[in-house]
Amino acid sequence: MRGQIVDNILVKRGKQVVKFFKYQGYGVAVKDLERVRGVKLHTKYDGILYADRHVFYKHGIEVEFGVEKQLVLPVNYWEELVEA
């Protein structure tokens, strides 16, 4: 797993965050999604984003990335967060 789990949320930063420009979204390994209730990304291009796991299952695009399946969630399905 790339990232860390904090309060049952997968948190990814820096090189752990992979943007799929072809789909205008961010990918998370399917096996990692099964272990958490949501995903929080600190992205280079789109700020801090959050999405619940069920949103990935409903709107995610399945992609083979290396040796694992990813669900890529387009940016418009993420919630943009503002942290103080």
User: Taking the model in full, what pTM does it have?
Assistant: 0.91
CB 56 within 8 A of CB 26: no
pLDDT means per 10 residues, the chain with 84 residues, are 91 93 96 96 95 98 90 97 77
Q: How many CB atoms lie within 10 A of CB 5?
A: 13
Structure confidence at residue 26 (pLDDT): 97
Structure confidence at residue 67 (pLDDT): 84
List the domain boundaries for the chain. Answer: 4-81
Q: How far is it, in rounded angstroms, from Cα 20 to Cα 22? A: 5
DSSP state of 78: S
CATH architecture of 4-81: Beta Barrel (2.40)
